[in-house]
Amino acid sequence: MTDKNLIKLETVQDKIIDIRGEKVILDSDVAALYGVETRDINKAVKNNPDKFPEGYIFELTVKEKNEVVENFHHLEKVKFSPHLPTAFTEKGLYMLATIIKCPKAVRTTMDIIETYTRIKDLSRSISKLPTASEAEQKNILEKAAEVIGDMVFNADDGLDVTGNETTYEANLGFIKIRKTVKEGK
């Protein structure tokens, strides 16, 4: 049985967006993941400026704010905020984890780190494909399929296994993903 309070991989993954060539999570999404208010996240940053040098966080421009509101429906609430959102890079999120003190902080930080790590591993694996031997390509694609399968078909719902199985399959052209889910009552 798994802990129902854990944040699922796809929940974190859905909050990671690309801005200025960086994979970031906006302050409002960080707050939602940690179970605190956005002002608490920004207050922690303001009270610890030495922990957030350039490259750790940045404030969005008005144009960037409008673009994220338009392109990411879960950020609709940002549209009505009088403040420009703060974007946390991976390094900024690690640093934030050292100062946010709430019950969900440790688990949430681990889930965020795990998500970033899986995305980087997947990216590294796929970038090796053109120069890899046929055997290496097969191994890379199997590993990529496993990572993508975990991200797309996360079936960790905490149910007791009763023996019923459902198989999900996705063919992405260059990779075929198959995930078998054992369902419970």
Rg over CA atoms, the chain? 19
Give, rounded to a whole angstrom, the gap between the first and last alpha carbons of the chain.
Answer: 13
Residue 125, pLDDT above cutoff 50: yes
> Confidence band (pLDDT; 50, 70, 90) for 75?
confident
- Provide the residue ranges of all domains of the chain, joining segments of one domain with +: 1-127, 133-185
Please give the pLDDT value at position 183: 55
pLDDT digits (tens, 9 = 90+) for 126-179: 777 788 788 887 887 777 777 666 655 554 444 344 455 555 555 555 555 555
Average pLDDT over residues 79-91: 91
Residue 2: CB atoms within 10 A of its CB come to 9
Please give the pLDDT value at position 118: 78
DSSP 8-state symbol, 104: T
CATH no. for 1-127: 3.10.260
